[in-house]
Amino acid sequence: MLDGANQAGPTAVVLDTNVLIAAGFNSRSHAARVVVAVREARLRAIWCTETRRESECLIRKIPPLSWSAFADLFDEEDCHGEKLDPLAFSYVPDPADRVFAALAHAARATLITQDDHLLAARSRADVPFLSPHEFVRFMLRDAGETLPCELLARLTPEQPTEEAAQ
């Protein structure tokens, strides 16, 4: 069980449920590339009981998807067991999304999401909130290698997403 800040090793990420759903529907998407990177242990998917419960509940409600296709992403070693404070993230409009922001903050992990409300609130976050496209572009590169932490530090929350600029 994970009990605090990022440990050395693969980059820690928190995957919003919408990333899992997108990966399930399009195996060639940026979201799917992120999921593959977790499966290949190039990334660590940090989770907590609440985020796993939400992901499982929503995925089970979508008939073409199967929870068994995603259950392996929730490795016990990457479970964040410490208490979270979602109320500290009141700048995130949807209360259900606050737990993802709180988890990313507590674990010092990058939150990967396709949620426009979370991405719009990222300028107030102290950890990166990135879309799957941004994460793949800035962190995974095409060759599949992870960029150094120094580059992550240069990714400011104020940077607009490439999708938003189009």
Q: Nearest 5 degrees, angle CA 58-CA 46-CA 145? A: 110
pLDDT for 16 equals 98
Within-domain flag for 166: no
Coil vs helix vs strand at 11: strand
What is the pLDDT at residue 140? 76
- pTM listed for this prediction: 0.81
Q: Give the H or E element holding residue 96.
A: helix 95-107
CATH code: domain of residue 86: 3.40.50.1010
Q: Using N-to-C axis directions, what is the helix angle for 17-25 and 49-60, rounded to 10°?
A: 40
Residue 86 counted as domain residue:
yes
The domain total for the chain is 1
In the block, tokens 């392996």 appear at 72
Measured between alpha carbons, how far is 126 from 129 in angstroms, rounded to an integer? 9
Pairwise CA distance, residues 13 & 103, whole Å:
10
User: Which tokens go with 146?
Assistant: 């992870």
Specify if 123 maps to a domain: yes
Q: What domain range is 30 assigned to?
A: 11-158
Tell me, yes or no, whether 105 lies in a domain: yes
- 116-138 pLDDT tens trace: 999 999 999 999 999 999 999 98
Residue 165 lies in a domain: no
Q: What is the pLDDT of residue 6?
A: 44
pLDDT at 8: 61
Residue 133 lies in a domain: yes
What is the predicted pLDDT for the residue at 154? 38
Report if residue 58 sits inside a domain.
yes
Residue 163 included in any domain? no
Q: Which residues of the chain have pLDDT under 50?
A: 1-6, 143-166
